[in-house]
Amino acid sequence: MIAVPSSSAPRPSWPFSTRDVCERTPEAGPVEVVVVGAGVAGLVAARGLTDAGHTVIVLDKGRRVGGRLSTRVFANGGRADAGAQFFTVRSDEFARAVASWQETDLVHEWCRGFSSNDGHPRYAVRGGMSQLATALAGGLDVTCSVRVEQIRVGGDRVIVTWPEAHGHGAGRVDADAVIVTVPVPQASVLLGSDVVVPPISYLPTLSLMVALDRDVDISPSGGLQLVEDPVLSFVGDNHAKGTSASSVITFHSTSDFAASRLDDPISSISDSLLRATRPYLSGASVVETQLQRWRYATPVEVFPERMFATEGGRILLAGDAFGGPKVEGAFLSGMAAADQINRGR
Ligand SMILES: Cc1cc2nc3c(=O)[nH]c(=O)nc-3n(C[C@H](O)[C@H](O)[C@H](O)COP(=O)(O)OP(=O)(O)OC[C@H]3O[C@@H](n4cnc5c(N)ncnc54)[C@H](O)[C@@H]3O)c2cc1C
C-alpha cells in the first residue's frame, strides 16, 4: 500500500475531476515519483518520467493545472491570459517542442516584437496559455486542489502529506523521489529546516484583466511593453492575440507597484490599476474586471543549473528559478529533473 488515506472524508466531487490520490488502491502499484506543482516544469517532468515508464503522480494546490500559465474566463465568454502572455524560443530542445505544438495548431506565432519587428517570434497558445498546460497534462495522473503541506525523507522513501481541504480528506503518499516545482520560498517551507535550498527571491506582479464593450487599438500586434510607466509594465490585447473572441486587455503592473500594494484589498488594487489603464482604453466601456496577484511572478536570481538535487538525490527542485525565468526555462528545468531520475534507472 503506497498512499495511505488518513481521513474518512466523503468522496470529493469537482474539482476532483482527475484521479483522487487519497483513494489509490494497492493494485495501482507503488508511486515512484511525486511531482509537486502542475505548472510547465512539473508537467514536463512528469511527462518525461511517465514516458520512461515510471509511475508518477502530480499534485497541485490550484483548481486547474498551469500555475503561472493561467487563462481567466469572463461572463461574456471573453478570455485573458493572467500570467505569461507569450513565450520565446532559444534552445533546440524547446524549439523541437514548440514546432510539434505548432503542427497541431496548439501554438501559433503571435508577432515578432511589439514596438518594432525584432525578428524573434513571440508564440501564443490557442484559447490561452492555460491550454498548453492542459495539453501537457493529458494522460498524466494529476490531482488538483491538493495543497501539499510537508515533504519529509523517511528511510528510503520520501513522504508527502497534505491537510483536509476543499471537501477532500487529509492524505499522504510516499515515493522513491519527489520533484518540487513550486516557487523556491514555498518549497523551503514544505521541506522544513533540514533541507537547505538555494536562496532565491521573487518579484511580484499584479495582473488586471479588463473586458471591454469594443476593440481598442493597443499596437499593430496588440502588445505593448512599457518601460517608464510607474504602475504598468505590459499591455496585452487578448483579442488581437487570438486568445479571446471579444475584447479583453491584460495589464501587468510593475514589480514596484505590486510590492507596495500586494496585500491590499482587491477592490482598492483594481481601482488604482484601472485608473492607470485609462489612456489605453480609448473611451471603451469596461464590462468586467478580474485581478490576479502573483506573489512569486519572477525569480530574481536564477540557479546556475537546470535543477537542484538535495543531499541523497531523493528530492529535486525544478522550475523557472533553475532553467531561467520564463516558460522556456521552466520547460528545460522540468526536462532536466526528469532526465536526472531517468538516468538513475
Ligand atoms: C505576470 C507574469 C507574466 C509572465 N510573462 C511571461 C512571458 O510573457 N513569457 C514567458 O516566457 N514567461 C512569462 N512569465 C513567467 C512564466 O509564466 C513562468 O516562468 C513559468 O510559467 C513558471 O513555470 P513553473 O512550472 O516553474 O512554476 P509555476 O507555473 O509557478 O508552477 C508551480 C505550481 O506549483 C503549485 N503549488 C504551489 N504550492 C503548492 C503546494 N503547497 N502544493 C501543491 N501545489 C503547489 C502552484 O499552484 C503552481 O501550479 C510570466 C509570469 C508571470 C507571473
Domain annotation for the chain: domains and CATH numbers: 30-63+144-200+301-343 (3.50.50.60), 72-91+202-299 (3.90.660.10)
Is the CB of 317 within 6 Å of ligand 1? Answer: no
Mean pLDDT calculated for residue range 230-249: 98
Judged against a pLDDT cut of 70, whether residue 26 lies above it is answered with no
Distance 297 CA to ligand 1 centre (A): 7
Q: Give the residue whose CA is nearest to atom 5 of ligand 1.
A: 84
Predicted local distance difference test score (pLDDT) of residue 141: 96
The amino acid present at 80, given as its one-letter code, is A
At residue 334, what are phi and psi to the nearest 5 degrees?
A: -60, -40
pLDDT the model gives residue 24: 55
Contacts of 99 by beta carbon, 8 Å cutoff, 6+ apart: none
CA distance 46 to 48: 5
Residue 116 — very low, low, confident or very high, per pLDDT cuts 50/70/90?
Answer: confident
Ligand 1 mean position, distance from CA 155 (Å): 32
CA–CA gap between residue 293 and residue 208 (Å, rounded) = 9
For residue 39 and ligand 1, the question of a CB distance below 6 A is answered with yes
The verdict on the CB of residue 61 being under 6 Å from ligand 1 is yes
Residue 63, pLDDT > 70, answer: yes
Ligand 1 center to 142 CA (angstroms): 17
345 falls in which pLDDT band (50, 70, 90)?
A: low
Q: How confident is the model over 314-342, as a mean pLDDT?
A: 97
Q: CB of 85 closer than 6 A to ligand 1? A: yes
202 lines ligand 1 (CB under 6 A): no
Q: Atom of ligand 1 at shortest distance to CA of 37?
A: 34
Q: So what's the pLDDT on residue 96?
A: 98
Q: Which residues touch 193 (CB under 8 Å, ≥6 apart)?
A: none
State percent of the chain over pLDDT 90.
84
pLDDT at 160 over 70: yes
For 219-247, what is the mean pLDDT? 96
Flag whether pLDDT at 4 surpasses 60: no
Q: Is 207 in the pocket of ligand 1 (CB under 6 A)?
A: yes
Check whether 25 has a pLDDT greater than 70.
no
Position 140 scores a pLDDT of: 97
Mutate to test the pocket of ligand 1, among 85, 202, 326 (most ligand atoms within 8 A of CB): 326
CA pair distance 320, 183, nearest whole angstrom: 8
| Residue 88 CA, closest ligand 1 atom number | 11
Pocket flag, ligand 1, residue 144 (CB < 6 Å):
no
Rg of the chain's alpha carbons, rounded to an integer? 20
Pocket flag, ligand 1, residue 293 (CB < 6 Å): no
Ligand 1 binding pocket includes 236 (Cβ within 6 Å) = no
CB atoms within 10 A of CB 12: 17
- For residue 30, name the pLDDT band (cuts at 50, 70, 90): confident
Cα 294 to middle of ligand 1, angstroms: 9
Residue 267: count other Cβ atoms within 10 Å of its Cβ: 10
Q: What's the rounded Cα separation, in Å, for the pair 339 and 277?
A: 44
- Give the residue, by CA position, lying nearest to ligand 1 atom 44: 60
Looking at residue 212, its pLDDT comes to 98
For the Cβ of 140 lying below 6 angstroms from any atom of ligand 1, the answer is no
Scan for cell 504598468, then name that residue.
232
Segment among 168-172, 236-240, 314-318, 322-326 with least mean pLDDT? 168-172
For residue 303, pLDDT beyond 70 = yes
**Does ligand 1 come within 6 angstroms of the Cβ of 320?**
yes
Question: How far, in Å, is the centroid of ligand 1 from the Cα of 327?
Answer: 8
Q: Which amino acid is at 247?
A: S
Q: Is 41 in the pocket of ligand 1 (CB under 6 A)?
A: yes
Strands 150-154 and 157-162: antiparallel
Mean pLDDT of the chain: 91
Section 144-169 average pLDDT = 91
CA–centroid distance for 239 within its chain: 22
Q: Answer whether 54 contacts ligand 1 (Cβ < 6 A).
A: no
What are 119-156's pLDDT values in tens digits? 999 999 999 999 999 999 999 999 999 999 999 998 89
